[in-house]
Structure 1
Amino acid sequence: MLPEYLWDTIETVFFDAEGTLLHIYPSVGHIYAEICKSFGIEVEPTELQKAFFKTYLKKRGNWTLSPESCFQGWKEVFFETISQFGSLSDPEKAYHTGYECFAKKDYFLLTPDTRETLKALKASGRKIAVLSNWDERLIRLLKDLGLADEFDDIIVSCEVGLAKPDPAIYKLACERLATEPSRALMIGDSIDDDVIGARKAGLFALRYPGGSLKKLFPKKLFNF
C-alpha cells in the first residue's frame, strides 16, 4: 500500500489483467485438454500445461506487436504444444475454438473484491484503466465479465504496438488518460513488467501479491 500522503496525489490507477484482476481457470492446460478431447486427442491437463509453458517461453519474443502477428504467434504456440501429443482432427477449427476460450468469462476467475475496489476507485473520482500485454480478446473478455464499462480505458499491447516493461507504453497510457506519470499508480503481479517498468516511466507501482485487491488500498477509499 502507498503511504497515505502519496495516495492522496494519485489521480489514475492502472491495473494489469491476467494474474492481477483475473486469472485463467482452471489452467491453460485444462483448456487445451478440453479442446484436444473435442478434436481426437486424450491428454492430461498437467502434461499440456508443462508443454504450453515451455513452448510459450520459447516463442513469446518471436512475434511483433500487431493484431495479426499476435494471432499468428498464439497459433504457433498452440500447434507446437499440441503436436507433442498427437494430431488434431481439424487443426484450424481447434485453434479457433481454443483462441475464443480466452475471450470468455467461463474460463476466468476474478480476483476477490475486484468489483468493489473498482467501484470505490471510481466513486473517489479517480480514473482507472487496464494496461496489459494481451490482444484484442481482453476487451471482449472484460465485456463478457461485465467489467469493460468500469474502466476509462483499456490499453492492450498487441493493439498499440508496445508492451510492458517498455516505458513507452506507460507514457502512452498516461497520455491517453491525460495524467502525469507522477500522479499515476500501476498495480500488477510482475516485478519486471508492472513494477520496474512503471517506475522507470515515472509512475508509482505496487506488486499484487495475491488475495483480495482491497488490501492494496487505504481503508478510507471504501467509505465513499
Structure 2
Amino acid sequence: MKYRYIWFDLGMTLVETPIETLYRQVLKAFDIHRDAAEIRRAVYLTDKEFMRRYPHILGTQPAHFMPWYLGILNYNLGVRLDLEENYRIFADAQSRMGLKWRPVPGAHELLRRLKGQGVGLGLISNWDHTCRRVLADNGLDALLDVTVVSSEVGIEKPNPEIFRMALETAGVRAEEAMYVGDNYYDDVVGAGGVGIKCLLIAPYGRLGLEEISHRATIRSIEEVRDYLE
C-alpha cells in the first residue's frame, strides 16, 4: 500500500449524529412533514454553508449559533418558522431525545481492515474535552494509534502545525500519509499545508461544494478502501 499512515477527522467522518430524526420531530410540532433523507440533505447544505462562511463556529457551544443555524436549515428545507419558538422546541426535543454520536456506517470495518494490513491509524480533530470520551463510547479509541485533539494541543485545523505535530508524533513523512475528512476548508487546506493528500467525503457530489475544485472525493467512508486499492 502506498500510504503508511491514514489520518481521520472525527465528526461526520468517523462519527455522526441522527439530527434528521430529531429535526423531523421538531417540524411535526409545526405540522410540517419532511422525510429523513430530505432533512439530511438540508443539514448537509447548512453545514457546508457554515464551514465556508463561518469557520470554526460549529465547534463552539450550540447556544452561540443554533438559532442562526436553524434559520438556514429551514431555508434549505423551504420552510419559514418563528426562530425563537423553533429553537425552544429544538432544545426541548434535544434534551428528551438526545443527540449522541454514533459510528458512521462502515467506520469500524474500514479501520480494522487497514489495521490488519499494517497501516498506522490516527485522528486529527478540532474537538473539545469530550473527544476521547466520544471515541471510547463508540469503540474507536482502541483502533487508533495516535490521537491529536485541538483542545489538548492548543492548535486548530486548518493550521498546518497540528498536522505537522501529528506527523512527528507518528514518525511518518507527509508523502507517506493521507487524511480523510469532510471539511474542505479545515481538512483539505490544512493537510495540504504540510503536503498530506486529503480525501474529501462528499456524499452529494458537487452539491454544496460548487466553489471548490478538489478532485480526490468519495461519497462515504466505505469508499476509502476502494480508493486505496
TM superposition score normalised by structure 2? 0.62
Q: Note if contact 1:78-1:95 (Cα within 8 Å) is conserved in structure 2.
A: no
SS of residue matched to 1:159: helix
SS of residue matched to 2:195: coil
Q: Note if contact 1:13-1:128 (Cα within 8 Å) is conserved in structure 2.
A: yes
SS of residue matched to 1:195: helix
1:118 matched to 2:118: no
Deviation at 1:151, TM superposition (A): 0.6
Q: 1:192 to 1:49 in 2, by over 3 A?
A: closer
Matched letter for residue 24 of structure 1 = T
CA distances 1:106-156 after superposition (whole Å, capped 9, x unpaired): xxx5133x2222112222222211222332333222222211211112222
- In structure 2, runs of 5+ residues without a counterpart are 71-81, 202-217
- 1:128 counterpart (121, 140, 143): 121
Matched letter for residue 42 of structure 1 = A
Q: 1:174 to 1:141 in 2, by over 3 A?
A: same
SS of residue matched to 2:65: helix
Deviation at 1:15, TM superposition (A): 0.9
Matches within 5 A, 1:70-85: 72=61, 74-78=62-66, 84-85=83-84
- How far apart, in 2, do the equivalents of 1:214 and 1:204 lie? 15
Per the alignment, residue 31 of structure 1 pairs with: 22
Per the alignment, residue 219 of structure 2 pairs with: 210
- How far apart, in 1, do the equivalents of 2:175 and 2:49 lie? 38
CA distances 1:86-124 after superposition (whole Å, capped 9, x unpaired): 2749x7xx59948x945443xxx5133x22221122222
1:42 matched to 2:29: yes
Q: Note if contact 1:131-1:154 (Cα within 8 Å) is conserved in structure 2.
A: yes
- How far apart, in 2, do the equivalents of 1:127 and 1:214 lie? 14
Deviation at 1:192, TM superposition (A): 3.3
Matched letter for residue 75 of structure 1 = A
The total of aligned residue pairs comes to 191
Indicate the percent of aligned positions where both proteins have the same amino acid: 23
- How far apart, in 2, do the equivalents of 1:173 and 1:18 lie? 18
- In structure 1, runs of 5+ residues without a counterpart are 64-69, 219-224
Q: 1:59 to 1:147 in 2, by over 3 A?
A: same
Q: 1:31 to 1:77 in 2, by over 3 A?
A: farther
Cα-Cα RMSD = 3.9
TM superposition score normalised by structure 1? 0.64
